[in-house]
Amino acid sequence: VREFTNLHHGVRVPHRCEEGASQPGINSQCHNYAGGHVYPGEAFRVAGSDHSLHLSKAKISKAAPQWEGTAVINGEFKELKLSDYKGKYLVFFFYPLDFTFVCPTEIIAFSDRVHEFQAINTEVVACSVDSQFTHLAWINTARKQGGLGPMKIPLLSDLTHQISKDYGVYLEDQGHTLRGLFIIDGKGILRQITMNDLPVGRSVDETLRLVQAFQYTDKHGEVFVLEYLLSNK
């Protein structure tokens, strides 16, 4: 029997959990997850941390959670959805907030090198909990003033937090996301997840290598060490 804190109808209440026991009123089993017993779909606080997380619907080798929303594309507001990328690989990454320090460097890096992804039939989309209006304001701010400048990749708005919750990156107590990156193949299957804490951004080179590796296995049906592929290109 273990005690834990459960977020139920917006209120944190203590519960005691036995293996295989169901929470009264909720038809779900108690599970071990990230250091504590929680119920699937509920928010919870990881022991010893300041973060409350959401269990992810995003599962490796399963269909990626569907999403749609308003994005800034080439300086304009457009509706965008995951199914728009059917037949292509998609690098879908989350960053905490607009107008923050690490975020512009990695977003600019992905934008400036998006042609390398497009050359291998892959697109890139960035997402945060900011509104599309804040996205546009950040894009319209010069890089030397902490802005993004013109972008070659869409910036998707997740103002309701639903997308970030579905992908398991939303920090309930912070109101924004961790730095999650998801590689989704042309059939909509999730192939890879990278999750970083807030201070560290993602590597464009590493992301390119991972996409190339999955595409190689798609074509050849082989399992291999990634460095082998790179050394034999």
One-letter amino acid of 219: K
Could you say which of 17, 30, 103, 127 is catalytic? 103
Active site residue 103: yes
| Active-site residue set | 103
